[in-house]
């Protein structure tokens, strides 16, 4: 199949549910506004995502950073609409995909958006792929169910995709099961699956966790190349601040379900404007600091059912004062396009 035809096949063959929607191509590709997700637990309501906003343009990469349990994956799954509810519930905000609020769509339209317009790469491909079906079957399923391809056509597409993500001898490997692939190859299969229907947005949720460092670099490069080639928007969720540095254009740092700093990647690495970001950067192991104690952030992320008053980071913050305990900091504009949720961002910048 020539390249132009591939792109042709990629235009979503939307069903009635989606065809009636008006996708505004001038609107931002993905615009998340004040997204809130609650979890109903026995201990009470956990505010997993607490008013997150960000914008993603086509061809750009947004890195979402934060330690475990700060709401990164929940944000991603809320955008995809694949949260388990109950216990999870989206209680507020908007998820605008080219101007269409996904949260207001019915379940059928929502389903059509998945894979067709937003693809997702999960961490740990071994458990994310179904163990009892061949990778070819799992890839082909997308074409059979969304594009009405025959089994034979679907398999051809699967081979083409495996080839695209750099799996050697794709024609033979298409009939292999997930456990027969190495970790890096499995993650490539996962990426092929997210790409299959040529979505506009790809959300990669910790795509390189549990891979060794050389393979990590290969996977990140593959994602970046494919993204540039297809002009997709890429959301890269990770707790590894080193991983995003090379790939991301913008960074959104999350803490306790809220974004605490947003900036382009250079600004953040150059001079963080939030104490949490600063602490994260300091905790990167560095070759020139060999033999010294590795800096870490004292304490644990807060319990989401009983958040600290004021700024959620204040119990762990070295800049914390009285004001931080009472007053929740808004997102201050540090410089145009750069935001920080810290009352004392100037002090952090200068330090």
- Which residues contact other proteins (rule: CB under 8 A)? 77, 80, 82, 84, 111-116, 119-120, 122, 124, 127-134, 141-142, 145-146, 177, 179, 193
Residues 260 and 341: beta-carbon distance below 8 Å: yes
Nearer to other proteins, 125 or 311 (CB): 125
Least CB distance from residue 338 to other proteins, whole Å? 32
Q: How many CB atoms lie within 10 A of CB 59?
A: 14
Buried b (16+ CB within 10 A) or exposed e, 66-89: bbebbbbbbbbbbbbbebeeeebb
Question: Residue with structure tokens 């913050």?
Answer: 317
Contact 89, 40 (CB under 8 A): yes
Q: How far is the CB of 335 from other proteins (least distance, A)?
A: 37
Cβ closest to other proteins, residue 219 vs residue 260? 219
Q: Which is nearer to other proteins, 124 or 264 (CB)?
A: 124
Q: Measured between alpha carbons, how far is 18 from 144 in angstroms, rounded to an integer?
A: 18
Give me the least distance between CB of 79 and other proteins, in Å please: 11
Looking only at the bridges linking them, the beta strands covering 338-340 and 332-335 are antiparallel
CB-nearer residue toward other proteins: 11 or 346: 11
Alpha carbons 65 and 314: distance in angstroms, whole number: 19
Q: Of 111 and 160, which has the nearer Cβ to other proteins?
A: 111
Least distance to other proteins, CB of residue 124, Å: 7
**For residues 128 and 217, which CB has a smaller minimum distance to other proteins in the complex?**
128
Query: Residue 15 burial (CB < 10 Å; 0-12/13-18/19+)?
Result: middle
Q: Kindly tell me the sign of the dihedral angle through the C-alpha atoms of 137, 142, 145, 151.
A: negative
Counting DSSP H helices and E strands in the chain, the numbers are 15, 12
Parallel/antiparallel/unpaired status of strands 61-65 and 100-101 = unpaired
User: Nearest approach, Cβ of 196 to other proteins (angstroms)?
Assistant: 9
d(CA 223, CA 203): 11
- Name the token pair of 208: 């390189």
Residue (124 or 240) nearer to other proteins, CB: 124
For the CB of residue 143, give the shortest distance to other proteins in the complex, in Å: 11
Min. distance of Cβ 115 from other proteins in angstroms? 4
């Amino acid at each position: 199949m020539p390249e132009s035809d591939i792109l042709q096949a990629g235009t979503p063959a939307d069903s009635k549910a989606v065809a009636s929607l008006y996708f505004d191509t001038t609107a931002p590709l993905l615009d998340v506004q004040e997204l809130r997700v609650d979890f109903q637990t026995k201990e009470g309501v956990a505010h997993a995502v607490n008013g997150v906003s960000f914008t993603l343009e086509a061809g750009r990469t947004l890195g979402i950073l934060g330690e475990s349990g700060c709401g990164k994956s929940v944000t991603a799954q809320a955008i995809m609409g694949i949260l388990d509810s109950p216990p999870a519930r989206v209680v507020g905000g908007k998820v605008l995909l080219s101007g269409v609020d996904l949260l207001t769509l019915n379940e059928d339209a929502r389903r059509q958006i998945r894979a067709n317009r937003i693809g997702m790469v999960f961490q740990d491909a071994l458990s994310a792929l179904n163990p009892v079906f061949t990778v070819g079957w799992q890839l082909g399923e997308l074409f059979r169910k969304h594009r009405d391809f025959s089994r034979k056509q679907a398999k051809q597409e699967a081979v083409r995709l495996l080839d695209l993500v750099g799996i050697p001898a794709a024609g033979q490997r298409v009939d292999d099961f997930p456990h027969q692939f190495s970790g890096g190859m499995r993650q490539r299969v996962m990426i092929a699956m997210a790409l299959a229907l040529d979505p506009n947005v790809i959300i990669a949720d910790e795509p390189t966790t549990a891979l060794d460092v050389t393979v990590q670099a290969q996977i990140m490069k593959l994602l970046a190349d494919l993204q540039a080639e297809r002009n997709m928007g890429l959301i890269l969720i990770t707790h590894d601040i080193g991983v995003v540095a090379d790939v991301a254009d913008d960074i959104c740092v999350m803490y306790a379900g809220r974004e605490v700093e947003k900036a382009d990647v250079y600004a953040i690495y150059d001079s963080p404007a939030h104490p949490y970001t600063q602490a994260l950067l300091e905790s990167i192991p560095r070759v020139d600091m060999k033999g010294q104690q590795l800096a870490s952030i004292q304490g644990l992320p807060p319990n989401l059912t009983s958040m600290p008053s004021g700024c959620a980071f204040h119990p762990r913050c070295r800049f914390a004062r009285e004001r931080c305990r009472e007053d929740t900091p808004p997102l201050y504009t540090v410089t145009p396009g750069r935001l920080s949720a810290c009352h004392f961002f100037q002090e952090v910048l200068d330090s």
